[in-house]
Structure 1
Amino acid sequence: MALGIVVRRVPGVTRWVDYVWKAVAVLPGAGPAHWKELRRDGDAVEYHAATVSLELFRTDTEAYLQGLSTKNPAIYVVMRDSDDVDPLDVVMATASPFEAQDYADTGEELVEKVPMPEGLVAWVRDYVEAHHEDQVFVKRRRDKARVDLDQNGIGDSRIRQISDVYRAPTAKQTVH
């Protein structure tokens, strides 16, 4: 599904930051756009920054369920600093809180949590209901092999050991 990403620009509160950018909304089914101004309220400006594709995957239905079960379901918008004239590059949008956490852990991207519109909640929920399969937890059992009987790594195999490999070296005794 095509999602338009709405980004708000407000003036910074310190002398080191001119503007603060924050993703504030998504527009399901939006057409293509590139930093199109939507609204201006004093110094605050909202832009339709980009339109990205929201893709859902069968293997991530557990993550979607986790996101839908929260009090306020959200879409996570991943952005990074732009090398071009644009202030930010919108990388992607995801409904998976697990994937959003992976991007947030790198520290290179800015991940914003945006409220999910009701129609989009219904669309994701329908997808999960159609494709989710509960994973049965299988506890791993230790195999019965006795690994303590193997003595690999004791001593140097190139040197013939006649006696105990753990013995302390002895000093040569000279006969007078």
Structure 2
Amino acid sequence: MKLTEIIEKASWAETKACLLWNYSDVEKGMPGYERVFRELRTLQPTSTSMRIFIRKTFREGLDEEPFTEVVGKNGTLNKQLEDFKYLNKSEDSDYANAEVEYALEFHPWEEWLGMEVNSATHQKYAYPEILAHCLWEMTFMGFDQDAIREEKQELERRADELKNMTEEERKAHPPARNDEAS
């Protein structure tokens, strides 16, 4: 089932309750979440191979308590990535043959709508819970797609700037944000 179908099966009241239950800091942003919820119902999904996975995660030594994580997978295996050769992992290891997990917060909302939600997520979470976790992730950078797109472009610009620097330049001149450079 795609996210667009889940949105049709979940009410705003149920989704709001799930947001409030799962995320302690969402109350002040609730008008933004509701606006995005309603906007998503008007958008056309785009086709994508990316799939949504939601799960509880706990990283020993990093996290104080488990948290809910939303990631995307599109069938690409870790061993297919260009950087895999630098990881000193066997090509037949579990890691090598696991799918790459992608952050989704910068993906266009139309693409989110076209993503399949994996079956394990369906078994563990009700529709309003799935939608609440997806809303939280997709609005992590803000409640406006244009602002999110601009933030992504800024991050890409900074990454390109770093790639093109020599090691000495990186140490002497860390890249500045566009709004800081004047």
Q: In which range does the TM-score fall when normalised by the shorter chain? A: under 0.3
Q: TM-score scaled by structure 2?
A: 0.20
Of Structure 1 and Structure 2, the greater strand share is in 1
Q: TM-score scaled by structure 1?
A: 0.21
Of Structure 1 and Structure 2, the greater helix share is in 2
